[in-house]
C-alpha cells in the first residue's frame, strides 16, 4: 500500500515537472510563418536570384574622350585682319593703316609708351613720348615733346632708332615719318594744354602708309634723322 502511494506521488511530480518545463520552453520564432505548418515551411522552394552578366560598354573610355575632343566643324586657319586705310591727318591725300594709337591726359614730364607694331617681318617698333611745358617763339604756351623710337627683332636685337625733341603748338598736328625697306610709316602727334593743371593731353597715331612715306605738313613737318 505504501509502495503504491509512492508511485502515484512520483507520477504526479513527473507530470507537474513536464507541464512546467513546457510552459518555460523558449519560442523558436516560427510564428512569422502565419500559422503555416512546419512541414510546408520546410518544403517551400527557395528562389535564388540569378546573377546578371557584367555590363559591356559599347566603347572604351578612351574612345569616348576621343569623340568629345574631335571638332564637329572643320575650322579654317585664322587669317590676319587687314585694317582699312584711313586719311592721315596733316598729310592731304595720303592714306594708311593705323598701327598704334594713344589719347591720354598726363602730367607734364610723364612718359607714355606706344604699342609696338611690326615694320618688317620679325622687326618691331615702339616709341616713348615725354611732353614738357615750354614757351614758343611768339611767347605762347607750348610743348616740347621728347620722342624716342625703339626697334627690336625676334633675334634679340634692340636699339634706339630715333631720339629727337619736337617743339609743338597745342592743337596743331606734328608729323614725322620714316622708311623701312620699301614701306613708309608716319607718326602724327597732337597736344592740348589743360590750363592751371600742369597736365597735357597727348594724342599719337602711327600709320603704315600706302607706298613710300611722303613728307608730312604742319608744325614739325620735317622728317627726323635716324639715330645709328
pLDDT of residue 228: 31
pLDDT of residue 92: 86
Q: Is the pLDDT of residue 99 over 50?
A: yes
According to the per-residue pLDDT averaged within each range, which of 32-36, 124-128, 178-182, 222-226 is highest? 124-128
pLDDT of residue 189: 94
Rounded Cα distance between 123 and 99, Å, is 14
Span 55-83, pLDDT tens digits? 444 545 445 544 544 444 444 444 445 67
pLDDT confidence tier of residue 176, bands split at 50, 70 and 90: confident
Helices (H), 50-113: 61-69
List the beta bridge partners of residue 149.
127, 162
Rounded Cα distance between 63 and 136, Å, is 76
Span 117-127, pLDDT tens digits? 999 999 999 99
Q: In which residue are the cell numbers 505548418 written?
A: 37
**Where are any strands of DSSP class E within 68-116?**
86-87, 95-107, 112-113
Using a 10 angstrom Cβ sphere, with 0-12 exposed, 13-18 middle and 19 or more buried, the burial of residue 207 is buried
pLDDT confidence tier of residue 84, bands split at 50, 70 and 90: confident
Rounded Cα distance between 43 and 200, Å, is 106
**Where are any strands of DSSP class E within 81-182?**
86-87, 95-107, 112-113, 117-120, 123-135, 141-153, 158-168, 174-180
Higher pLDDT, 132 or 196: 132
Question: Mean pLDDT over residues 178-196, rounded?
Answer: 91
Question: Mean pLDDT over residues 141-169, rounded?
Answer: 93
Least reliable range by pLDDT among 31-35, 143-147, 156-160, 191-195 = 31-35
Cβ(191)–Cβ(173) under 8 Å? no
pLDDT of residue 27: 43
pLDDT confidence tier of residue 111, bands split at 50, 70 and 90: very high
pLDDT of residue 180: 87
pLDDT confidence tier of residue 151, bands split at 50, 70 and 90: very high
Question: Mean pLDDT over residues 213-227, rounded?
Answer: 41
List the beta bridge partners of residue 135.
141
Mean per-residue pLDDT over the chain, rounded:
73
pLDDT confidence tier of residue 12, bands split at 50, 70 and 90: low
pLDDT of residue 209: 93
Question: Mean pLDDT over residues 204-214, rounded?
Answer: 78
Q: Is 184 helix (H, G, I), strand (E, B) or coil?
A: strand
pTM: 0.58
Amino acid at each position: 500500500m505504501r509502495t503504491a502511494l509512492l508511485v502515484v506521488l512520483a507520477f504526479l511530480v513527473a507530470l507537474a515537472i513536464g507541464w512546467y518545463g513546457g510552459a518555460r520552453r523558449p519560442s523558436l520564432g516560427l510564428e512569422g510563418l502565419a500559422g503555416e505548418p512546419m512541414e510546408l515551411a520546410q518544403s517551400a522552394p527557395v528562389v535564388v536570384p540569378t546573377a546578371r552578366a557584367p555590363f559591356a560598354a559599347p566603347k572604351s573610355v578612351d574612345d569616348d574622350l576621343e569623340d568629345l575632343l574631335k571638332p564637329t566643324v572643320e575650322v579654317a586657319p585664322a587669317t590676319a585682319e587687314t585694317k582699312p586705310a584711313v586719311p592721315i591727318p596733316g598729310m592731304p591725300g595720303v592714306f594708311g593703316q593705323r598701327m598704334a594709337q594713344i589719347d591720354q591726359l598726363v602730367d607734364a614730364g610723364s612718359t607714355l609708351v606706344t604699342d609696338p607694331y611690326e615694320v618688317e617681318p620679325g622687326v618691331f617698333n615702339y616709341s616713348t613720348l615725354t611732353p614738357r611745358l615750354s614757351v614758343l617763339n611768339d611767347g605762347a604756351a607750348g610743348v616740347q615733346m621728347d620722342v624716342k623710337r625703339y626697334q627690336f627683332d625676334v633675334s634679340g636685337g634692340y636699339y634706339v632708332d630715333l631720339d629727337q625733341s619736337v617743339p609743338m603748338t597745342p592743337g596743331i598736328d606734328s608729323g614725322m615719318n620714316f622708311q623701312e625697306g620699301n614701306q613708309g610709316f608716319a607718326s602724327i602727334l597732337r597736344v592740348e594744354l589743360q590750363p592751371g593743371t600742369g597736365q597735357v593731353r597727348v594724342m599719337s597715331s602711327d600709320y603704315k602708309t600706302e607706298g613710300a612715306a611722303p613728307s608730312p605738313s604742319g608744325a614739325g613737318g620735317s622728317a627726323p634723322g635716324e639715330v645709328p
